[in-house]
Amino acid sequence: MASSHLEDSDIFQLINDTDSDCCTDNSESDVEGSESESDIDEDQSSSSATWGPPHQRGTRSVNTYSGGAVGLKSHEAPHVNKDSTPFSVFMLYFAEIIHLLVEETNRYYHQHIDRRQDGPSPRPDVTESEMFLFLGIIIQMGHDIRDRLTDYWSTLKQFATPFYSETMKRDRFLHILRFLHFADNRTEIDRNDDSYDRLWKIRTIFDTLNDAFEKYYNPSEHLAIDEIIVKYKGRVIFKQYIPKKHKRFGIKIFKICDAAGYTYDMKVYLGKDRTRADRDVTATHATVRDLCRRIEGVGHKLYMDNFFSSPDLFDELMTKKITCCGTVRPNRKGLPDDFRRRQFRLRKGDIRVRVRQNMTALVWKDKRDVYMLTNMHSPPAEGNFCGEHGNATKPAVVADYNKHMGYVDKADRMANSYGICRRTWKWTNKLFFHLLDLTILNSYILLSSCGAKLSHRDFRLALVRNMLELAGRGPPRPQRPRGRPPAVRSEPSRIGEVTTQHWPTSSTSKLRCRECSSRGIRRTVRTKCVRCDIGLCISGCFQEYHTKATFR
């Protein structure tokens, strides 16, 4: 591979990457630092004795990729092609989730009503059509960010947008948002149980999407594994604080993404794993191993930063036909002793290489020492390599790392381009809305792999229109009955006047209804009793008043 000059941005990505929790020195910035220290071994009886100077040149023999064409798995969704609508692709992932959202939202609302003895009259249940309208509004809000939710329904000239009020009433939208739920609260297990899942409230949705991401898409040969942060400052026990990231507080998610930015697999960091039985590997080693379970055996090439890289991990993945490349901390267990002790005194452009079987460890000096570990590249030549202007020449290992390592960041940027960044105290809602944006992005990439010429923005807007059209063809939305509901008839305390009769007649009086006026409601008289000459509106207040008068 032809070498090129390293730019400052490349050095910053390798050494002080803001999307990584690691740097080349001994500082620790993540709360997982205590866990990652377990794979730093200062014992001199390590496997570093097998490392030696480079003894081979030329192209290294690696696993041949046999994963097939990138894009849609046609046998899983034969009806999808370049002419498919965004909604039909989106529903590959979200068909089961819509039913779950409707069921659990209604269940949670009824549980709330049952806990309140003197609460308001029950509202109608949420239907699937209403849920599509709700999601359509949420997606559209990502293209029209405002300060408050109520501003979307405001009639002020600065905010007036007919789309929101014509799609759904404000109070109905806020009602669905308030009671949006993803699991039955009665299924929670004891928090002290070893099998307790901190993600149980949204586990079904997360696993359903994760399985669907793998089911319908075939990823590219080159993949990257990294972590992203879903910004959240509320209270949740597995919230992370990472000062190097732009979003410092939030929920950490580990992801594997391909060159198009498609999220193929993901895992939420939930803190220390109580159920992990294998104590011979570190937390980061176990995380990468779990994320790679769906890409084994076809020859994928995986890139990672120094938070994950280690010789033991690379050796294990190599047995599963996964070759790896990444930056590495010099004090990782299994690296050469001169790497671990940092004995090199390098000038700008110097390269030092150590080889162990099919694995290569190198240190390259530009502005700082950069430590790399790979088993997919041939070991470079040692020496000093600088260009005609005195700039350090970039090795092929570094060039490939810079080219492929940014796939997870690319996916995160695209998913957040039109995401609705709404402040909320519910971490489940925050994570769900991120998964919604991520599903839309994966749907767009899946449709683009079929040859569709559509931008990400146009895909989202077309999806909103499709949702509204489907909701219009669905069953009519339930309407809340107007007026005061009729009172429940109770047994009379005195039955002396049970035989009293009243006869209603129409009235054209401009007086106000007696019962409504007592409640502060201005309602014109429409019905009048012939016997007692009391003006009341329509039949509801008339029947209610005379029922009380009859049994008074």
Q: How far apart are CA 63 and CA 318, in angstroms?
A: 9
Task: Return all residues near 162 (Cβ < 8 A) that are at least 6 apart.
Answer: none
- Do strands 369-374 and 263-268 pair parallel, antiparallel, or not at all (unpaired)? unpaired
CA dihedral 201, 208, 299, 403 (to 10 degrees): -70
Task: Return all residues near 484 (Cβ < 8 A) that are at least 6 apart.
Answer: 519, 540, 541, 544
Under DSSP, is residue 155 helix (H, G, I), strand (E, B) or coil? Answer: coil
Q: How far apart are CA 85 and CA 459, in angstroms?
A: 9
Query: Would you state the pLDDT for residue 267?
Result: 95
**Predicted confidence band of residue 99 (pLDDT cuts 50, 70, 90):** very high
Query: Would you state the pLDDT for residue 19?
Result: 46
Q: In 54-65, which positions are buried (b, 16+ CB within 10 angstroms) versus exposed (e)?
A: beeeeeeebbee
Angle at 12 between CA 9 and CA 15, to 5 degrees: 150
| 15 CB-side CA count, 13 A | 16
Per-residue pLDDT at 322 exceeds 80: yes
Structure tokens at 200: 């149980």
Q: DSSP E strands: which ranges in 477-552?
A: 504-506, 527-529, 535-536
Q: How far is CA 514 from CA 511, 538, 550, in A?
A: 9, 12, 17
Q: How far is CA 221 from CA 63, 73, 329, 449, in A?
A: 11, 15, 26, 15
**Predicted confidence band of residue 471 (pLDDT cuts 50, 70, 90):** confident
pLDDT in tens, 219-261: 999 999 999 999 998 888 898 888 877 888 899 999 999 999 9
Spell out the domain ranges in the chain. 504-546
pLDDT in tens, 102-141: 999 999 999 998 887 766 678 899 999 999 999 999 999 9
Query: Would you state the pLDDT for residue 38?
Result: 40
Would the CA dihedral through 302, 308, 311, 315 be positive or negative? negative
- The one-letter amino acid code at 108 reads Y
> Could you tell me how many residues make up the chain?
552
Specify whether the CB–CB gap between 526 and 506 falls below 8 A.
yes
Query: Would you state the pLDDT for residue 388?
Result: 76
Would the CA dihedral through 366, 367, 373, 375 be positive or negative? negative
Comparing C-alpha atoms, which of 293, 282, 231 is closest to residue 256? Answer: 293
**Predicted confidence band of residue 540 (pLDDT cuts 50, 70, 90):** low
Structure tokens at 82: 């370049």
Q: DSSP E strands: which ranges in 232-270?
A: 240-241, 249-258, 263-268
Task: Return all residues near 503 (Cβ < 8 A) that are at least 6 apart.
Answer: 529, 530, 531
Edge to edge, what strands does the sheet with 527-529 contain? 504-506, 527-529, 535-536
Task: Return all residues near 291 (Cβ < 8 A) that are at least 6 apart.
Answer: 225, 254, 255, 256, 265, 266, 267
Specify whether the CB–CB gap between 270 and 199 falls below 8 A.
yes
Per-residue pLDDT at 179 exceeds 50: yes
**Predicted confidence band of residue 30 (pLDDT cuts 50, 70, 90):** very low
Comparing C-alpha atoms, which of 466, 469, 459, 424 is closest to residue 439? Answer: 459
Task: Return all residues near 284 (Cβ < 8 A) that are at least 6 apart.
Answer: 32, 35, 36, 39, 307, 308, 310, 313
pLDDT in tens, 282-302: 888 999 999 999 999 999 999
**Predicted confidence band of residue 525 (pLDDT cuts 50, 70, 90):** low
The mean of the pLDDT values for the chain is 80
Structure tokens at 377: 């590249």
Q: How far apart are CA 539 and CA 547, in angstroms?
A: 12
Tell whether pTM > 0.95: no
- The one-letter amino acid code at 117 reads Q
Task: Return all residues near 19 (Cβ < 8 A) that are at least 6 apart.
Answer: 226, 227, 228, 245, 305, 408, 409
